[in-house]
């Protein structure tokens, strides 16, 4: 049974000691000095983290399971205790807590999305016996940490055109690529179940995810070239290609028409955009002023120094960060008559792999990881510290979007999503030729076995999520 006052569940086994992995991107400078300089773009560099030492005897990979109902591996009450302890640490207002709770109750996949910390705790405890996908340990790389189908989407690429890529790096940390694969496979399984696919069809999707990942890793290792962690319109297929094409047609005027008073440089006020208190608005303005100091000359399209025209609190957004403070700041565009630009400033949920017992995630560290993982295409992004508080900052791009439920409601569409997100995850993990080589050595040509093991894990954990969700609803 989990201790309700801890996010670290007690281990049921005693693994051999694992050498500590140094984290080259953690910096604990003074709050006044802590500021992340936004990246100019992906340059192909990424620190090579040491391989993970074997933890005791080798485990047999989890076998494909399948097609019959599975029993949960642990009591659902443990998940409720975990969530209750997390909610207590977050310390949300009653209204924000009610919103967070109601959102988790929407469906099993949304519940899963909201709780990456529970997932990673389970990998160390109740699901430790099936966490290894092959009969040898995986190398450690920087992983995304919170991978699911809704955390892939369209965004502005390095050349200004829309691309499809991972779009959430809040939980990125050194870890096993297996964890990212497993979380994505569970997301795919839950989505397929909601779409009414059979167990056999769902198993095929997950196996294809693993094989697509393995195939792209092998290609990157053979090429000897750095990976580009996104899909262009020319590479994408099906609904993803359609989403990129649609995003390329979006303009700043389209975005502003949804957010601003007609003919004005002031945000609407409604159920999602709320007038902040005077002190809160001043804090956001001060954060933008601090962010200005870190911007470089490539931060174009805005008046410099940044001039804030309006501030609003944004409600009703986020998965794992649902309910945490989030604001929009409208800043003046560059030149007379130029359209203003919207900056989003948000606090992050605790980092499940970095500091799971915290009340907030470290936005400075998240912005640094974003750069290292090649996702910082927009030079207006970054992070700032305000005393003990850190804020993640990014432009609200008109190109930003994700896959909709109607994009993922058939076997064909889900298969295309499995293939393309598997490919993207491989590119994310194998950013450098050296990392691609280490991952290819780990897989060793066993892409089919990887897919089957992934399917077995996803079936088991999806059953756990369904049980946890049912208990949460009750």
Q: What pTM value is reported for the model?
A: 0.86
pLDDT in tens, 428-458: 999 999 999 999 999 999 999 999 999 999 9
- Helix (H), strand (E) counts: the chain: 13, 12
DSSP string covering 352-415, please?
TTT-TTSSS--HHHHHHHHHHTT----TT-EEEEETTEEEEEEE--TT-EE--GGGGSSHHHHH
Q: Is 33 left (phi over 0), alpha (psi -120 to 50) or beta?
A: alpha
SS3 category, 91: coil
Q: Is 206 left (phi over 0), alpha (psi -120 to 50) or beta?
A: alpha
307's tokens: 């001039």
Give the separation between CA 346 and CA 157, rounded to whole angstroms: 22
Alpha-carbon distances of 131 from 12, 137, 351, rounded to whole Å: 14, 10, 20
pLDDT in tens, 5-64: 333 333 333 333 333 333 333 333 333 333 433 333 333 333 333 333 333 334 445 554
31's tokens: 């709050």
Give the mean pLDDT of 304-329.
Answer: 96
Give the separation between CA 184 and CA 190, rounded to whole angstroms: 10
pLDDT in tens, 116-152: 999 999 999 999 999 999 999 999 999 999 999 999 9
Q: Is the pLDDT score of 162 beyond 60?
A: yes
Give the separation between CA 383 and CA 346, rounded to whole angstroms: 9
> What pLDDT shows up at residue 32?
38
Q: What is the largest CA-CA distance in the chain?
A: 67
What is the bridge-based pairing of β-strands 35-36 and 382-386? Answer: antiparallel
> What pLDDT shows up at residue 34?
38
Query: By the 8 A CB rule, do 142 and 354 touch?
Result: no
Q: Is 391 left (phi over 0), alpha (psi -120 to 50) or beta?
A: beta
> What pLDDT shows up at residue 69?
59
Helix spans in 151-198 (H): 177-194
Q: Is the pLDDT score of 155 beyond 90?
A: yes
288's tokens: 């933008």
| Matching residue, tokens 């959102």 | 103
Angle, CA 110 vertex, CA 453 and CA 461 arms, to 5° = 25
261's tokens: 């008073």
């Amino acid at each position: 049974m989990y201790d309700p006052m801890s996010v670290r569940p007690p281990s049921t086994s005693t693994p051999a000691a694992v050498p500590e992995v140094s984290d080259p991107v953690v910096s604990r400078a003074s709050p006044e000095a802590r500021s992340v300089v936004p990246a100019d773009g992906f340059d192909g560099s990424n620190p090579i983290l040491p391989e993970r030492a074997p933890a005791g005897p080798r485990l047999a990979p989890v076998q494909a399971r399948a097609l019959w109902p599975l029993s949960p591996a642990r009591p659902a009450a443990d998940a409720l205790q975990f969530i209750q302890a997390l909610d207590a640490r977050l310390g949300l207002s009653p209204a924000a807590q009610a919103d967070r709770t109601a959102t988790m109750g929407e469906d099993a996949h949304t519940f899963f999305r909201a709780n990456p910390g529970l997932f990673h705790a389970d990998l160390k405890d109740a699901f430790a016996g099936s966490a290894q996908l092959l009969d040898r340990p995986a190398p450690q790389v920087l992983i995304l940490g919170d991978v699911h189908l809704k955390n892939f989407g369209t965004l502005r690429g390095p050349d200004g055109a829309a691309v499809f890529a991972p779009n959430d790096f809040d939980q990125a940390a050194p870890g096993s690529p297996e964890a990212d694969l497993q979380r994505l496979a569970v997301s795919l399984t839950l989505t397929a179940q909601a779409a009414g696919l059979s167990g056999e069809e769902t198993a095929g999707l997950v196996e294809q995810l693993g094989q697509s990942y393995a195939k792209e890793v092998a290609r990157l290792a053979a090429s000897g070239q750095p990976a580009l962690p996104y899909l262009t319109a020319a590479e994408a297929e099906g609904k993803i290609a359609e989403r990129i094409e649609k995003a390329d047609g979006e303009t700043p005027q389209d975005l502003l028409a949804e957010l601003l008073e007609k003919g004005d440089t002031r945000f609407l006020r409604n159920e999602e955009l709320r007038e902040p208190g005077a002190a809160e608005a001043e804090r956001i303005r001060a954060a933008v002023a601090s962010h200005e100091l870190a911007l470089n000359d490539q931060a174009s399209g805005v008046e410099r120094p940044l001039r804030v025209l309006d501030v609003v609190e944004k409600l009703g957004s986020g998965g794992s960060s649902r309910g945490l403070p989030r604001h929009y700041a409208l800043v003046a565009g560059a030149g007379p008559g130029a359209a203003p630009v919207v900056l989003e400033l948000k606090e992050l949920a605790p980092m499940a792999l970095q500091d799971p017992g915290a009340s907030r995630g470290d936005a400075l560290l998240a912005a640094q990881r974003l750069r290292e993982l090649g996702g910082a295409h927009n030079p207006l992004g970054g992070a700032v510290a305000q005393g003990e508080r850190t804020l993640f900052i990014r432009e609200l791009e008109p190109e930003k979007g994700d896959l909709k439920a109607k994009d993922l409601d058939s076997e064909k569409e889900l298969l295309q999503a499995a293939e393309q997100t598997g490919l993207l995850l491989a590119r994310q993990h194998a950013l450098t030729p050296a990392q691609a080589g280490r991952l290819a050595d780990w897989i060793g040509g066993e892409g089919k076995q990887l897919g089957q093991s992934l399917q077995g894990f996803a079936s088991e954990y999806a059953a756990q999520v369904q049980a946890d969700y049912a208990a949460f609803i009750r």
